[in-house]
Chains A and B, each alone.
Chain A
């Protein structure tokens, strides 16, 4: 089956190796025998949501997030329609904030988001950083990553991670992190998220395949390096948590 990805602003929203979220999802689907066509969308480019199977945007600086949002507002209706239609999406890093009602920068200037999600973001001058070890309701294993953001996100109704044992969530330390509504995933965790967490990668791949009416594999192909890398990071973070 031929699958189409829309990768928004790969040269603008490109911090923390974000692009690798797309790369690993592409490779997993290819290993399952599908053909993946990734369309890179720069500001101003046309984007065909009607034929999209996965929509992605990665992390950017606060200035670049504003430049991205200035362009992405034109896609608001299309994104909402695609979300209703069950298209799988991931908004990683500060791209998550774009989905909400508004983003207020450290100088107090507020701009509107695309209003797909109910939350609001207020950025601060002092950044929120640190390793994260948390849990999701999607699967039993811990989720690992690193938080590197400036925004405090309030009003999240359906977080991706419902509890953290270590690190900062949307609003506060140990609080819930990210947002998920059906097949739309958002998280400010770096890692990149899908590289460091093979189980979230499988869930997103499943979302893409299920919507297309394709059967899921009985067993997901194992990427041993990703799996071992996850094990080491989970072990290190658990040990760190026990110490503090």
Chain B
């Protein structure tokens, strides 16, 4: 009785929420109030996939859903990105009939790293993908190892783990388990001999504290690592990017499957590998998976093109408090080679909570903007001075960057002179403060 009531409450709440444009976690919250163990009373599909990690969760989930649908399966997943326990409850219950049977072949969930253990108390995923673990929202998450400790209890012995072999920290989830499916990227042309970036989180073994060595690194501390003390090393991969030409946008998986990349980024390659690995594990053929990936256009709105006066521009959404997300986009700007002006905006550190914490700016590799194609850098928003202090310690010449606190004034300055491409780097919390001043494309 309580079960049916909870399901009805959730469905009604979701319907009303849709009408008024409210978020998707509240209906699940009501249902959990009415029946706290509702998630153990529903009949779930035989395939349950969870995806967690610091970066790439949403993109990976979207890609998995596309591949599984192309394979003819009915997939339900948390599209709105409501990835805490309540959001997952909303997803499951709105897709259940009143007896509690979930009408789908696959339940696919993006899961917040810190809430996963709570979410999966009542049911266990059959497959669990972890994309990576690194510095992300440290005001909330403490540090990557505290996220590791919070996520670890989410893995049941019967759940198959699909892990990133190239990440020294999240790969520790595979210790003492023999059912792990590893994915990773072999050495390629652009691999560096050692980790890059401002800080080096791969310098010491997360297990024994011994010094680590790298055969090569793809970005930051992601690469082929091994501990000189305890002997732990990058595991052999089951699904491998065996060749990658980022310039041409061609990825080869397992020496057999060739994929044309719609978005030529190393980070996208890891999302693809994670999605490919789990889809293969649940029985999708290599051809079907490759076909979808090759035709896949990233839809999550992290990139937005616009016009600003006579200039064309692209806003690259970087998460504040996430240095690797920023490094990703800085590398993109550097690698594109297009003569450009760059705007970095830090106005509200978070859209969800108040903080004046800006130490994460010191973890970002802004030296990447000291590149011949970057003609001008404007620092803007309430915390522009903190940005400027950070830039005063980069290799960029002082005449290449300037501070314009007011965001509309920064946009006007770009309109007033020059016609190079504009790249704007900022977070969800601040992106509309700039985009509303432009004419958006697409």
Contact = CB atoms under 8 A, between A and B. Distances in A.
Interface stretch (B175-183, B269-277, B352-360, B427-435): B352-360
Contacts, number: 111
6 contacts: A12-B203, A16-B360, A16-B362, A19-B362, A64-B209, A70-B209
Contact of A131 (B355, B386, B392): B355
Interface in B85-118: none
Given A12-B203, A14-B199, A233-B356, A23 B393 contact: yes
Interface of A: 11-12, 14-17, 19-20, 23-24, 27, 42-43, 61-64, 66-67, 70, 125, 127, 129, 131, 144, 146, 148, 150, 190-192, 195-196, 223, 225-226, 228-229, 231-233, 236-237, 240
Nearest to B392: A225
Contact of B357 (A24, A67, A131, A223): A131
Nearest to B202: A11
A44 to B, nearest CB: 9
Given A131-B354, A229-B383, A15 B138 contact: yes
A196 B357 CA distance: 10
Interface in B375-392: 382-383, 385-386, 388-389, 392
Contacts of A148: 138-139, 142-143
Contact of A64 (B204, B356, B357, B361): B204
A168 to B, nearest CB: 13
B359 A63 contact: no
B136 interface: no
Contacts of B142: 127, 129, 148, 150
Interface of B: 138-140, 142-146, 149, 199-201, 203-204, 206, 209, 211, 354-363, 382-383, 385-386, 388-389, 392-393, 403
Nearest to A240: B354
A15 B386 CA distance: 18
B199 A195 contact: no
A234 to B, nearest CB: 9
Residue from B357, B382, B383 with most neighbouring chain A CB atoms (10 Å): B357
A20 B362 contact: yes
A17 B388 contact: no
Contacts of B200: 11, 14
B139 A63 contact: no
Residue from B145, B356, B386, B403 with most neighbouring chain A CB atoms (10 Å): B356
Contacts of A23: 393
Contact of A229 (B149, B363, B386): B386
B382 A232 contact: yes
Contacts of A67: 204, 209
A228 B359 CA distance: 16
A237 B209 contact: no
Contact of B385 (A61, A63, A125, A229): A229
A3 to B, nearest CB: 19
B220 to A, nearest CB: 13
A192 B138 CA distance: 14
A16 B143 CA distance: 9
B354 A63 contact: no
Nearest to B364: A17
B251 to A, nearest CB: 32
A216 B358 CA distance: 30
Contact of A17 (B140, B144, B363): B363
Given A11-B200, A131-B357, A192-B362, A228 B385 contact: yes
Contacts of A127: 142, 146
Given A15-B143, A16-B138, A127-B142, 11 more contacts: A11-B203, A11-B204, A146-B355, A148-B143, A150-B146, A225-B385, A225-B388, A229-B385, A232-B383, A232-B385, A237-B356
Nearest to B379: A225
Nearest to A71: B209
B379 to A, nearest CB: 10
Given A20-B362, A232-B382, A146 B206 contact: no
Contacts of B355: 131, 146
B323 to A, nearest CB: 9
B167 to A, nearest CB: 16
Nearest to B204: A12
A132 B209 CA distance: 32
A190 B145 contact: no
Closest 9 CB pairs of A and B: A17-B362, A67-B209, A11-B203, A229-B385, A228-B385, A225-B388, A146-B357, A225-B389, A17-B359
A24 B211 CA distance: 28
